[in-house]
A = this chain, B = another copy of it.
Amino acid sequence: MTPQPGSAGDVLTLISAGSATTRSDLARLTGLARSTISQRVDALIERGLIEETESGESTGGRPPRQLRLQTEDHAFAGVDLGATHCRIALMDISGSVLAECEDSLLIGEGPETVLAHVDQRIDHLLAQVGRPRKALRALGMGVPGPVEFATGRPNNPPIMPGWNDYPVPEYFEGVEVLVDNDVNVMALGEHRGAFPEAAHLLFVKVGTGIGCGIMAEGRLHRGAQGSAGDIGHIRVSGHDNAGCRCGNSACLEAVAGGAAIARRLTELGLPAESGGDVVELVQAGNTQALRLVREAGRLIGEVLASLVNFFNPEVIVIGGALSRVHEHLLAGIRETVYRRSLPLATNHLTITPSRTGINAATLGAGILAIEHYLSPENINRIVNA
């Protein structure tokens, strides 16, 4: 891609970041000719992306007109699809949540049924805030499985029957759609929502399975094939007889995931089917469940200790269903990470339960959509269209 310093996209970036609030700021920051600034600003106003108001602070003379994002005319949707739920947040271009909703929804019903439901819910939310359908500019979606990010197609997702290679973006007409793995959008949501200053953050989701979203220098690291963060199949020591659905043994997920803990509790005579059942047993004070969750924390900590040495993150966030009993999980994780990682890497390391909680994914999905829409490349495309 050819860099275009001084393009409309760059001008908008300066305005949305708060670096420039007047035309003079823009001239000073970019070195663009006055006439070029006018051209850029006029194009952005015409496209409804920014507005210019008279409300600047007075310094005696005529107050300078202020430039800012125009937050009235657009809407963005952040969609969080889980195995059994659908959450949606409608946001304006600044990332403020305008309205949200949550339903039970089985992802296994297949893409047509699920996406029709999403589409209808977005219509309801738009109606609720009085914005027309055409105000919807972009939609971000997190799904519980691997996705080829460039095309938005799920890639052999184990718990999403019927979704393999389904062209999700094409379902929604006239709107940009970005689809990503749920733990990636959670990492993005947690970063922007709770730790915007952290250079490097890991978001570890401990649910039925175990996955990790990676923020490096404030951006999602997806890796060469988009499979980065797949830590559920890293080998842990001392469990070589624990077979995993991937065909290997001793995978982290096969011994420390919610499903694995539920299975072991069942073997101990405490019927449990899911991570949610495990959480209920812990909350009811069952000591077997508590012991297994803490032991799972130690095993997760063993893997995270390696990743701390390798990646040296500033923050590790623990989310997912099992984080509802995070005191037990985090005790095990912290114990192992602080024992096995190098002091230089743990001195300033924060290990914390998710602060955005169940909103991490909708927030992150919406931000994915907004940041894509506001990217200089996309703005230049819109302005030059």
Contacts and interface: CB of A to CB of B under 8 A. Distances in A.
Interface of A: 2-7, 10, 13-14, 19, 29-33, 35-36, 40, 146, 155, 198-200, 212, 214, 216-217, 219, 221-231, 233-235, 237-238, 246, 248, 302-303, 305-307, 309-314, 339-340, 342, 344-345, 347-349
Contacts of A199: 224
A253 B248 CA distance: 25
A224 B32 contact: no
Given A310-B231, A344-B227, A29 B4 contact: yes
Nearest to A146: B344
Contacts of A347: 225
A309 B233 contact: yes
A10 B10 CA distance: 13
A309 B6 contact: no
B312 A222 contact: yes
B342 A230 contact: yes
B3 A19 contact: yes
A219 B217 CA distance: 10
> DSSP class of A's interface residues: helix, strand, loop or mixed?
loop
Given A3-B19, A6-B32, A19-B3, A311 B237 contact: no
Contacts of A223: 200, 311-313, 345
B33 A246 contact: no
Contacts of A198: 224
A175 B221 CA distance: 35
B225 A340 contact: no
B19 A4 contact: no
B225 A345 contact: yes
B29 A32 contact: no
Nearest to A39: B31
Contacts of A219: 217
Nearest to A198: B224
B230 A345 contact: yes
B234 A309 contact: yes
B344 A225 contact: yes
26 contacts: A2-B19, A3-B13, A3-B29, A5-B31, A5-B32, A7-B31, A31-B36, A32-B33, A32-B36, A200-B221, A200-B224, A216-B217, A217-B219, A222-B312, A223-B313, A224-B312, A227-B342, A228-B310, A234-B306, A235-B302, A235-B340, A237-B238, A246-B342, A248-B339, A303-B306, A311-B311
A312 B184 CA distance: 14
